[in-house]
A = this chain, B = another copy of it.
Amino acid sequence: MALCRSTWLSTLFNKAPTIAASAFSRCNFAALIAFSCLYIMKSTEELSGIAQQVRRDIVRMVHAVNSGHPGGSLGCTDYFVALYFHILNHRPDGFDMNGHGEDLFFLSNGHISPVWYSVLARSGYFPVSELATFRKLDTRLQGHPTTHEGLPGIRVASGSLGQGLSVALGAAQAKKLNGDPSIVYTLHGDGEIQEGQIWEAAMYAAHHKIDNIISTIDVNGQQIDGPTEKVMSLGNLRAKWEAFGWTVCEMEGNDMAEVLKGLTHAKSLTGQGKPIMILMTTSMGKGVDFMEGTPKWHGVAPNDAELANALGQLTETLGDY
């Protein structure tokens, strides 16, 4: 059973698949030696190509229903692609809620569901064609991610901000109880960090030495009402997380090579008694020039002309859904 059904993607890019030794190193979890893993690592260029397609998916999805959140989704696309196509040790074709022996990902800022849905579909969790149902009646691709409709890849609902870190910490502790050495990843918006529950969770993680978690904050400097600095300044984010007992890394989130380096580095810091936080600098709306660096496109869909303009800036690498 392949951990990641991406051979066809590699083929698309005409690159020879390479075996990722690092993936094997995490497979010493007894119960899982059974499904030994052929993990296909992709080159940075391949990943960037996938990211182009994901960005096309995002703008097409929100345009089709005239609702949804393109800004944050576009900014976090490189992170999602790196995570799902390179970093995660996961099983897209045999989704199991408990995820024993798999790395887990939790999206706390649930409004950027478009990027997650696209990456989940493109990495094999469900048919790419289902992206066309986003936010439509009876869809499994609800406006905000949910387990309620049984969409593979989702392990908890989000949308109400500030809750995902706590959930991920529980999942990480369950892994420890189960003797599962996998890693739990989370993503948060920078505005989301204003929620008090985040700081409750931060304190909890350090106290319980939860060192199998790698959290990332999408530091795009924007939230709905404007720049974070003006709405509710986060001050010195590194100092805050360090004071709360986390190991803090920084990473440029819109440069695929940097993202890969940053996530790989963070991985090397797990198991050292401290939770890990990556402050990821991104540009909201990245990849579509008129959406970049402004909160205007936080939760607004492009009209037909804007869609055409956006698609003109993004190469179709894997075929539109």
Cβ–Cβ contact A206 & B233, under 8 A: yes
Per-position 1/0 for A213-240, Cβ under 8 A of B: 0000000000000000000111110011
Per-position 1/0 for A88-125, Cβ under 8 A of B: 00000000000000000000000000000000000000
**CB-CB contacts below 8 Å: A160-174 with B:** none
A15 interface residue per 8 A CB criterion: no
Q: Which of B199, B207, B240 contacts A196 (CB 8 A)?
A: B199
Residues of B within 8 A of A236 (CB): 243
Residues of B within 8 A of A200 (CB): 194-196
Whole-angstrom distance from the CB of A196 to the nearest CB of chain B?
2
The distance in angstroms between the C-alpha atoms of A239 and B248, with both chains bound, is: 15
A83 interface residue per 8 A CB criterion: no
Q: Which residue of B lies closest to A202 (CB)?
A: B199
A300 interface residue per 8 A CB criterion: no
Per-position 1/0 for A159-203, Cβ under 8 A of B: 000000000000000000000000000000000001111111001
A242 interface residue per 8 A CB criterion: yes
Cβ–Cβ contact B235 & A243, under 8 A: yes
Cβ–Cβ contact A240 & B244, under 8 A: yes
A204 interface residue per 8 A CB criterion: yes
A245 interface residue per 8 A CB criterion: yes
Cβ–Cβ contact B245 & A235, under 8 A: yes
The distance in angstroms between the C-alpha atoms of A234 and B204, with both chains bound, is: 10
Q: Which residue of B lies closest to A166 (CB)?
A: B196
Cβ–Cβ contact A206 & B235, under 8 A: yes
Residues of B within 8 A of A240 (CB): 240, 243-244
Q: Which of B194, B203, B245 contacts A194 (CB 8 A)?
A: B203
Q: Given A204-B232, A206-B235, A242-B243, 6 more contacts at CB 8 Å?
A: A194-B203, A203-B232, A203-B233, A207-B232, A235-B244, A236-B243
A-B contact pairs, 20 of them (CB 8 A): A194-B200, A194-B203, A195-B196, A195-B200, A196-B198, A196-B199, A199-B199, A203-B232, A203-B234, A203-B235, A206-B233, A206-B235, A207-B232, A207-B233, A235-B243, A239-B242, A239-B243, A240-B240, A240-B243, A243-B243
